[in-house]
Amino acid sequence: MTGSQQETAVPTYPAPIWCKDSDGTEYTFDAYMELIRAFHGYPAPGLIIAGKMVQTALGHIPRDILFDAICETGNCLPDAVQLLTPCTAGNGWMKVLPFQKFALTLYDKHTGEGCRVWIDTEKLEEFREIKCWFYKTRPKSEQNTDFLVRRIFEAGVNILSASPVKVDADRFVKKGLGEREICPVCNEVYPAGHGKTCRSCQGDSPYLEPGEGMGISPASASESRPFLKSVPVERAVGERALHDMTQIIPGRSKGPVFRSGRTFDAGDVCRLQTMGRQRVYVETEPADNEGATDTGGTAQWIHENEAAMRFASLMAGEGVTYTETPSEGKVDFAAKQNGLLMVDTERLEAFNLLSDVICATRKGYSIVSESVKIGGTRAIPLYLPGNIFRKAIRILQRGPIFRVLPLKKASAGILITGSEIANGLIKDRFEPIITAKLKQYDCRVACSIISPDDRDMISRGIQDLLNEGAELIITTAGLSVDPDDVTRKGLVDAGTEDVLYGAPILPGAMTLLARIGEVPVIGVPACGLFFRTTSFDLLLPRILAGIEIKRQDIARLGHGGFCWQCNVCRYPKCSFGKA
């Protein structure tokens, strides 16, 4: 201790017991103060009171039971619980709720019966100093800490209230982490249920990671940049362009005028100046980039073109091609065949969560034609940090982002249900609607059968369609809640499996999906007679692409599954079926 420092006398208090732990060990006020100094760092007023609260709760629950704890704030109370009971955050016996209320509960972990203790604001009226601290009406720097602690000692249990409670113990059952995966970004193990990457790599990380544009001092940032040679345009003659240079003429054109690697000549100087260029980046000699690799020989910086081509080679899957040469640092993807665009949205999101790289796509499940552009990727900076590049590659090595699946030219069997149609009371109008929609995908109708609303006849009709070689079965109507609507029962009798009935799509809520063996079945509700576009239009391409449709896929269609019913239908060039 220096001469300028003065030792502060620690006040002492009479020896009566302040609190007990769950084992029955007694602590005087002074002993408890030393205990919390060792654990918490200093005797916080809230932690002093919390000791008395824990003892109060322990006194209201039976001894020799297994109990858990609930703290309704993360301030002070959890420390007292962990000091005086076996309940900790680590063993899962203590739960901290984000209520920011100074209250705790100890309860039987089997029955949920327990005791809740809290600071009673009405009782604080007799203890003004404690009330001032509790309500934060005076800055901490102006508080008399010794006097506050003295008043807490004098108040004891007189500022607390306790009440029996019954906790919903099932709510706090500790759940396992489930299946584990290795995060493709950070290469660490995490619960697979969190997504394609760990939550940290999804953007929840509290760390400012060097190399991702954050948390680097100005000095280290300047040292970590790649060497870029910049010259005035007047001195660029004979130099080679380091990257594509874009010219924009508003309303007329946008594109690269000078390509990466081009050697500038005298005639280029004026054009560069008209483009607003005063200086340009040019290629350097290999010696200028010494230190561009780390001690392990791994590249620290990747040129935008090299990065984009490497990304593209891993992103493109079945039925997808991409440009052989980047333009302005970007690689475009196109459909290699007609079909249904499939996008791995979780992997796409994981890739785009990385800094300095992007990939943009058309909406997944869109019908695309051969040679139509479906997306693009690029690095944002001219040189991409090597660690970001390698993280991106790890994500993409798990599988492609883009696929275009061919649509099967299926032979369809149509079962028209309705006694009014079978008996000739009204003319069927469903078959031409279904036939026209099938024709859009080069499918043909192998057979069409009309059946009355009779369970057995519907079942036999399905078998007849299968015997005719139907590769897809479509039923119409008979799917609502009316007593005459027995189509579902007839389908079950016909041997349907994996039945999904009901979809969050309007129109088309009573859609049915199933299969009989390898033959897919779709039940089109009666709304298909009236509305031009329904759930059938959203689901038919997926069925023809051979995609297994699960309940979760149907549930996702609720976002965007509300048709605007425009006077002039422009589907699929609208928001219907697109989140």
Among 201, 199, 546, 183, CA closest to 398:
183
Q: Is 75 exposed, middle or buried (0-12, 13-18, 19+ CB in 10 A)?
A: middle
| pLDDT at position 435 | 96
Token match 């995609």: residue?
547
Q: How far apart (Å, rounded) are the C-alpha atoms in residues 513 and 531? A: 20
Give phi and psi for 305, each to the nearest 5: -70, -45
Q: How far apart (Å, rounded) are the C-alpha atoms in residues 358 and 344? A: 15
User: DSSP assignment, residue 552?
Assistant: H
pLDDT band at 224 (very low <50, low <70, confident <90, very high): low
Secondary structure string (H, E, C) spanning 297-340: CCECEEEHHHHHHHHHHHHECCCEEECCCCECCEEEEEECCCEE
pLDDT band at 198 (very low <50, low <70, confident <90, very high): confident
CA distances from 342 to 62, 369, 419, 445, 520 (A): 60, 13, 41, 27, 20
Contact 466, 490 (CB under 8 A): no
Residues, the chain, total?
579
pLDDT band at 221 (very low <50, low <70, confident <90, very high): very low
Q: How far apart (Å, rounded) are the C-alpha atoms in residues 540 and 414? A: 14
Which stretch of 51-65, 256-270, 389-403, 425-439 has the lowest confidence by average pLDDT?
A: 256-270
pLDDT band at 518 (very low <50, low <70, confident <90, very high): very high
Q: How far apart (Å, rounded) are the C-alpha atoms in residues 51 and 83? A: 9
Residue type, 94: M
Q: How far apart (Å, rounded) are the C-alpha atoms in residues 248 and 537? A: 40
pLDDT band at 551 (very low <50, low <70, confident <90, very high): very high
Contact 413, 434 (CB under 8 A): no
| pLDDT at position 5 | 37
| pLDDT at position 208 | 65
**Angle formed by the axes of helices 77-84 and 29-40, to 10°?**
110
Which stretch of 18-27, 44-53, 274-283, 358-367 has the lowest confidence by average pLDDT?
A: 274-283
More confident residue, 211 or 236: 236
Mean of pLDDT values over 370-391: 93
Contact 367, 442 (CB under 8 A): no
Q: How far apart (Å, rounded) are the C-alpha atoms in residues 563 and 571? A: 10
Does the structure show a pLDDT above 50 at 3?
A: no
In DSSP terms, 160 is beta-bridged to 119
How remote is the C-alpha of 521 from its chain's centroid?
32
Q: Compute the half-sphere exposure of residue 259: CA atoms within 13 Å on the CB side of its CA.
A: 5
Rg (CA), the chain: 36
Does the structure show a pLDDT above 50 at 212?
A: no
Does the structure show a pLDDT above 90 at 237?
A: no
| pLDDT at position 13 | 58
Mean of pLDDT values over 40-57: 95
Which stretch of 32-36, 236-240, 374-378, 451-455 has the lowest confidence by average pLDDT?
A: 236-240
The overall average pLDDT reported for the chain is: 88
Helix/strand/coil percentages in the chain, nearest 5: 30, 25, 45
What tokens appear for 68 in the block? 């858990």
| pLDDT at position 259 | 84
What tokens appear for 255 in the block? 């594109």
Q: How far apart (Å, rounded) are the C-alpha atoms in residues 528 and 506? A: 11
Q: How far apart (Å, rounded) are the C-alpha atoms in residues 445 and 443? A: 7
What tokens appear for 72 in the block? 């309704």
CA distances from 456 to 419, 430, 450, 495, 547 (A): 13, 22, 13, 12, 30
Does the structure show a pLDDT above 90 at 494?
A: yes
What tokens appear for 407 in the block? 């649509």
Contact 317, 400 (CB under 8 A): yes
Q: How far apart (Å, rounded) are the C-alpha atoms in residues 503 and 234? A: 66
Q: Compute the half-sphere exposure of residue 445: CA atoms within 13 Å on the CB side of its CA.
A: 18
In DSSP terms, 447 is beta-bridged to 413
Instruction: Kindly give, in sequence order, each residue whose CB lies less than 8 Å from that of residue 412, ignoring residues fewer than 6 positions away.
Output: 434, 438, 443, 444, 445, 446, 470, 471, 472, 473, 474
Does the structure show a pLDDT above 50 at 406?
A: yes
Does the structure show a pLDDT above 70 at 535?
A: yes
Which stretch of 14-28, 68-82, 292-306, 438-452 has the lowest confidence by average pLDDT?
A: 292-306
Does the structure show a pLDDT above 60 at 66?
A: yes
| pLDDT at position 298 | 62
Contact 361, 375 (CB under 8 A): yes
Q: How far apart (Å, rounded) are the C-alpha atoms in residues 503 and 512? A: 8
Contact 490, 514 (CB under 8 A): no
| pLDDT at position 173 | 73
CA distances from 162 to 19, 105, 523 (A): 16, 9, 60
pLDDT band at 225 (very low <50, low <70, confident <90, very high): low
Which stretch of 58-62, 253-257, 336-340, 460-464 has the lowest confidence by average pLDDT?
A: 253-257
Q: What is the DSSP string of 163-206?
A: EEEE--GGGGPPPP--SEEE-TTT--EEEGGG-SS-TIIIII--
pLDDT band at 11 (very low <50, low <70, confident <90, very high): low
Of 270-279, 296-305, 310-319, 570-579, which one has max mean pLDDT? 310-319
pLDDT band at 8 (very low <50, low <70, confident <90, very high): very low
Count other Cβ atoms within 10 Å, centred on residue 6: 8
Token match 């009355």: residue?
452
Domains of the chain: 17-172 (3.30.1330.130), 229-283 (3.90.105.10), 301-405 (3.90.1170.30), 411-556 (3.40.980.10)
Does the structure show a pLDDT above 60 at 292?
A: no
